[in-house]
Amino acid sequence: MAFHRSIRSRRGRRKINQVFELQLTSMMDVLVIIVVFLLKSYSTTINTFTTVPGMQLPISRSEEMPPESLQVIITPEAVTFENERILEFVQTAASLDGSGPSYEFRKTDLDEGGRRIVPLYDALTKARDKAELLRAKSKTRDEKGNPLPFEGVLAIQADKRVQYETVRRVMYTSAAAGYKVFRFLALKKE
Amino acid sequence: MLKRPSSRRKSSAEGINLNLVPILDTMVTLIGFLLFTTSFLSIVHIESPFPISSEKEMEEQLKEKPLQLTVSVHESDTELWSPFEKFASKKIPHALPGQPDIAGIHSGLLEIKKLFPNETKLVLVPHAATTYDVLVSLMDSARAVEATDAPIFARNPQSGNDEAVKKLFPEIIFGNLLSAPGGDS
């Protein structure tokens, strides 16, 4: 009995004296793999394009990354320009049975025979005036000493369900406001 | 009675324990920064200018009679045609209702590219009900040459050599932007 007691007491003493050391090697392995993965998928170009909840962008095989520009987001619910919701669509009766488009413009939002979107035109004109004012104040000039011309580039980000009729109205309105180049945004095909 | 293990042997077997805590701190900070700044959704774009034409340009065009390759999407089919009848127009029926046959359109465009290898412009006239998804697919099929496509060669005016074309018709403009809502052309 005395022998057993002495062994037990010795084991207990050893446990108390031992310093608890956490094995960090396996954790380091995991973290190194995560860092390598993140560095591989890290894009050096800053993507300033935002999206809205529920947005379904189509997939494109294009390789061209969009440079920074003003952007319009079109969803079946609303049109957003530079993170500001400028108009909301009205749900149609045809959307209930799926026989037609699920949304339409309010009649008061359109003019020029239904081709121009008034709130969007106002927002685009305002943004253009602001850009031109900034360019006029800027010290960067062209060869003749004039302020740099307004580029007029607009990025269009639309939900995959949005119909061409709506995109066409946005393009027409943008062109009327002085935006002559459109960039259609999509997700890159991996 | 059990023999106590030698303390000398025990000490020699012990390895050097590297202090990994500072490295771990750095790793965690780095992962936090990368997660915060990495964009996992990579966005690409397809550029298209608004068509601008003056009367002079129109007159010159009528004299020159360019190809002006046009892809018109109708309710039940897609038509590849030229206003100056540079090639026989072709109608490709939709694969599904409202869904153009993208593969068929692409092969049709490849045939036209073989006839006009230096042409880069294409006029797209989608139907009003064409969805943005289909629009992007149409532009993709009209712009890119796929790896599985038969090579098409075009004479490089600078080098004078025949080179394989990398793009089909990369300059896309919309042909019905000025038409009234509901109209196709």
Query: Which of B21, B127, B135 comes nearest A167 by C-beta?
Result: B135
Q: Which of A121-125, A135-139, B9-13 has the lowest mean pLDDT?
A: B9-13
pLDDT computed for residue A1 by the predictor:
47
Helix (H) and strand (E) counts in chain B: 5, 8
What CA–CA distance (Å, rounded) separates A116 from A171?
9
Both tokens assigned to B185:
């052309």
* Chain A residues near residue B181 by CB distance under 8 angstroms: 113-115, 165, 168-169
What's the pLDDT tens digit per position in A27-61?
889 999 999 988 887 765 556 677 788 889 999 99
Q: Which residues pair with A123 in a beta bridge?
A: none
Q: Which of A114-123, B91-100, B151-160, B162-171 has the lowest mean pLDDT?
A: B151-160
Contact in structure between A118 and A33 (CB atoms under 8 Å): no
What CA–CA distance (Å, rounded) separates A13 from A122?
82
Burial class (CB in 10 A: 0-12, 13-18, 19+), A138: exposed
| Residue B149 counted as domain residue | yes
The residue written with tokens 């009649």 in the block is: A107
Both tokens assigned to B59:
């007159």
What's the pLDDT tens digit per position in B151-170?
888 888 788 888 888 889 99
**pLDDT tops 60 at residue B10:** no
Domain ranges in chain A are 2-40, 59-188
- Nearest chain A Cα to B29, which residue? A35
* Chain B residues near residue A117 by CB distance under 8 angstroms: none
Which of the residues B43, B102, B135 would you substitute to probe the A interface, choosing the one with the greatest number of A C-beta atoms within 10 Å? B43
* Chain A residues near residue B43 by CB distance under 8 angstroms: 47, 49, 57, 65-66, 185-188
Taking the Cβ of residue B147 and every Cβ of chain A, the question of whether any pair is shorter than 8 Å is answered with no
**pLDDT tops 80 at residue A96:** no
Q: How many CB pairs under 8 A join A and B?
A: 162
What CA–CA distance (Å, rounded) separates A79 from A64?
25
Residue B112: band (very low, low, confident or very high) from pLDDT cuts 50, 70, 90: very high
Contact in structure between A38 and B35 (CB atoms under 8 Å): yes
Contact in structure between A91 and A78 (CB atoms under 8 Å): no
pLDDT computed for residue A66 by the predictor:
87
pLDDT computed for residue A44 by the predictor:
58
**pLDDT tops 70 at residue B63:** yes
Give the mean model confidence (pLDDT) for residues A117-135.
93
What CA–CA distance (Å, rounded) separates B1 from B105?
90
**pLDDT tops 50 at residue B100:** yes
Contact in structure between A14 and B10 (CB atoms under 8 Å): no
- Nearest chain A Cα to B1, which residue? A3
Sheet arrangement for strand B77-81: B90-93, B77-81, B70-73, B121-125, B171-174
- CB atoms closer than 10 angstroms to residue A142: 9
Please report the DSSP string for chain A in residue order: -HHHHHHHHHHHHHHHHSPP----HHHHHHHHHHHHHHHHS--SS-------TT----EE---PPPPS-EEEEE-SSEEEETTEEEEE-EE-THHHHTSS-SEE--GGGEETTTTEEHHHHHHHHHHHHHHHHHHHHSS-B-TTSPBPPP--EEEEEE-TT-BHHHHHHHHHHHHHTT--EEEEEEEEP-
The domain that holds B61 is classified in CATH as: 3.30.420
What is the domain extent for residue B122?
55-174
Query: Which of A24, A114, A188 comes nearest B44 by C-beta?
Result: A188
What CA–CA distance (Å, rounded) separates B105 from B99?
12
The residue written with tokens 């966005």 in the block is: B43
ipTM of the complex: 0.77
What CA–CA distance (Å, rounded) separates B137 from B101?
10
What CA–CA distance (Å, rounded) separates B100 from B143?
16
| Residue B87 counted as domain residue | yes
Q: Which residues pair with B45 in a beta bridge?
A: A185
Of B141, B43, B126, the closest CA to residue A57 belongs to: B43
> Cα–Cα distances in Å, from B32 out to A27, A128, B178?
16, 38, 50
Give the mean model confidence (pLDDT) for residues B4-28.
73
Quick one: which H or E segment has residue B77?
A: strand B77-81
Which of the residues A168, A172, A179 would you substitute to probe the B interface, choosing the one with the greatest number of B C-beta atoms within 10 Å? A168
Contact in structure between B7 and B13 (CB atoms under 8 Å): no
B138 CA: distance to closest CA in chain A (Å): 10
Give the mean model confidence (pLDDT) for residues B9-38.
79
**pLDDT tops 60 at residue A173:** yes
Quick one: which H or E segment has residue B63?
A: helix B55-64
The domain tally of chain B equals: 1
**pLDDT tops 70 at residue A12:** no
* Chain A residues near residue B177 by CB distance under 8 angstroms: 168, 171-172, 175
| Residue B167 counted as domain residue | yes
- Nearest chain A Cα to B183, which residue? A165
CA dihedral A139, A140, A141, A147 (to 10 degrees): -80
Which of the residues A13, A74, A174, A182 would you substitute to probe the B interface, choosing the one with the greatest number of B C-beta atoms within 10 Å? A182
